[in-house]
Structure 1
Amino acid sequence: MSKPIFVCVPGASHPAIIYDPIKASLALHGYTAIPVQLPSIGGIVPNYDFTEDVVVIRHIISRCIESGLDVIVVLHGWSGVVGGEALQGLGKAERTRRGLRGGVVRIVFIMAWIVKEGFQGAQRGDCSNMFPHLQADLQTGTATPIPTLSMETLFSDMAPQQANFWTSRLQPQSLGVFWSTTTYAAWRHIPTTYVYCDQDRSVTVEYAEMMVQTAKDSIPNMIDCEERCEEGGHEVMITRVSVRP
């Protein structure tokens, strides 16, 4: 039996290379990881909403499962919103009922937004609750990372040199994804793990716990595993990765 493929979706302003350390670690254990570069991150023309991100995620996962492979989807930060939207009809159990091979066997939320159907981060044009480390510009339709605040918020548990490196890799984020409204919540239908990082200064652990409890109080849900990294900040897929096979 083949091992599942990991499809790793980055959070707001994060390029796909943010998953390079965990991709290398998983390879040591015989697993393949596919980091996703979202169109809404770093693009020249800003996206109107999260539709293009959803399409890209579905395309990558569909290629895997249509080959009969199982997939574990990893979501980080804001990608919990778009990732939860993108998996409709791709779950392993649902595909098995339809006589199809392959499917998403688990979702792993790493300090990611886990939200219900109908969630909208803000009304279109409203940037009043933008993440503090992002500078919104309605004229360009993007939010640009502020280096000093990004280092303090996202990379707080790194050495300065490492934090500088990863801060320099952050990219402008299309504002439209924050104004999109969800229509699907994949965690209701696919087994789900939530990973708390107690030192996260972006999505605080208290807020993460509130989101998860709200989801667990909503029926149906398939949140069956909660893990905790007590020393980890927002970027545990960089700072808390094993390099041993």
Structure 2
Amino acid sequence: MSPSKPAVLLIPGAWHVPASYNKLTNLLKSSGHDIHVPSLPSMNGARPPTADLETDTAHIREYTQQLADAGQHVVIIAHSYSGQIASNSLTGLWATTRAQQGLPGGVVHIISLCAFMVREGFSMTDVVHHFGHDDYMPLAYDFAEDQTVVDRDPKGRLVSPGPGDDDVEVEGYLGTLKRWNGKCMSQGLSTDRVAWRDIPVTYVHTIGDMTTPLAYQQWMVGNMKEDGVEVETVELDTGHSPNLTKAKEVAEIVDMVVARYKK
């Protein structure tokens, strides 16, 4: 990889571990990208949970800041829940802001894969509540007494619709998914200023999404635009896991964005 090419930092979503993104990251690596996929503390398997959105935020901020301090420009990929992490953790790490402070590197762009990109103080469940879908939560998710959670139908809700993906590939993907700290869903953003107010965003709409429905995605992007933020949007005809079902198309989007920041 050329040192003038931004690194790509993929922040996993809920239930996902780095291996969940192997199809996408292998494509990106084959194109010469420097890929980073750190594990989330909230996915550490502890029962009861020992990490949450705040812990994830601190971890990703430290990881990103290390890349920036090394002089690296960074393109972020945020998937689903990790839109909350990106919004919370990247404030002040925009490359332009750092340059003004005489600091090297920094985040140059956020690519949102059907991610929760909400305003300050908002949680994922606030979005659900806005649409009056609170009663769907226990139907979709299996919460244990310690509030760890799994999806009741991961194939139907996370993968479908996913034309072109064979059963072996899908089953391999589903096998990577783990129990997660469901308390993260109801934790609001704590930052005084969410990062997407400063860092350019490309929002990838997944129009067949059963987990973050298209109406949710459009509402969040609408709020961003209402607040004066320019958001580039792309549509993919797929469900909640474009990293699996539309990996080639996502890789092409990453290629397009990274190319803008080559020196």
Work out which of the residue numbers 156, 170, 174 in structure 1 matches 2:177: 170
Structure 2 distance, partners of 1:238, 1:195, is 14
Structure 2 distance, partners of 1:37, 1:49, is 13
Question: Would you say the 8 A contact 2:116–2:124 is kept in 1?
Answer: no
Structure 2 distance, partners of 1:170, 1:21, is 14
Q: Alpha carbons of 1:170 and 1:132: their partners in 2 closer, same or farther (altered >3 Å)?
A: farther
Question: Aligned residue for 1:12?
Answer: 14
Question: Would you say the 8 A contact 1:145–1:171 is kept in 2?
Answer: no
Q: How does 1:92-241 map to 2 (within 5 A)?
A: 92-122=95-125, 130=137, 132-137=139-144, 139-146=145-152, 149-156=153-160, 157=162, 158-182=165-189, 183=191, 184-219=193-228, 221-223=229-231, 225-230=232-237, 232-241=238-247
Structure 2 distance, partners of 1:167, 1:238, is 10
State the 1:42 CA deviation.
4.1
State the 1:235 CA deviation.
1.2
Aligned residue pair count:
237
Question: Aligned residue for 2:131?
Answer: none
Q: How does 1:27-66 map to 2 (within 5 A)?
A: 27-45=29-47, 46-47=49-50, 49-66=52-69
Structure 2 distance, partners of 1:14, 1:53, is 13
Structure 2 distance, partners of 1:206, 1:227, is 15
Question: Aligned residue for 2:129?
Answer: none
State the 1:91 CA deviation.
0.7
TM-score, with structure 1 as normaliser:
0.88
Question: Aligned residue for 1:74?
Answer: 77
Secondary structure of the residue aligned to 2:154 is: helix
Structure 2 distance, partners of 1:39, 1:132, is 26
Q: Alpha carbons of 1:74 and 1:132: their partners in 2 closer, same or farther (altered >3 Å)?
A: farther
Q: Alpha carbons of 1:227 and 1:131: their partners in 2 closer, same or farther (altered >3 Å)?
A: farther
Structure 2 distance, partners of 1:85, 1:172, is 22
Query: Which ranges of 4 or more aligned residues in structure 1 deviate by more than 4 Å?
Result: none
Identity of aligned residues (%): 26
Work out which of the residue numbers 19, 25, 28 in structure 2 matches 1:26: 28
Secondary structure of the residue aligned to 1:195 is: strand
Question: Would you say the 8 A contact 2:75–2:111 is kept in 1?
Answer: yes
Structure 1 distance, partners of 2:58, 2:65, is 10
Question: Would you say the 8 A contact 1:130–1:136 is kept in 2?
Answer: no
State the 1:62 CA deviation.
1.2
State the 1:222 CA deviation.
4.3
State the 1:122 CA deviation.
4.5
Structure 2 unaligned runs (5+)? Answer: 127-133, 256-263
Q: Alpha carbons of 1:36 and 1:132: their partners in 2 closer, same or farther (altered >3 Å)?
A: farther
Secondary structure of the residue aligned to 1:56 is: helix
Secondary structure of the residue aligned to 2:93 is: coil
Instruction: Read off the aligned partner of 2:16 and give its amino acid letter.
Output: H
Structure 1 distance, partners of 2:87, 2:239, is 22
State the 1:174 CA deviation.
0.7
Structure 2 distance, partners of 1:24, 1:89, is 30
TM-score, with structure 2 as normaliser:
0.82
Q: Alpha carbons of 1:84 and 1:131: their partners in 2 closer, same or farther (altered >3 Å)?
A: farther
Instruction: Read off the aligned partner of 2:71 and give its amino acid letter.
Output: G
Instruction: Read off the aligned partner of 2:7 and give its amino acid letter.
Output: I
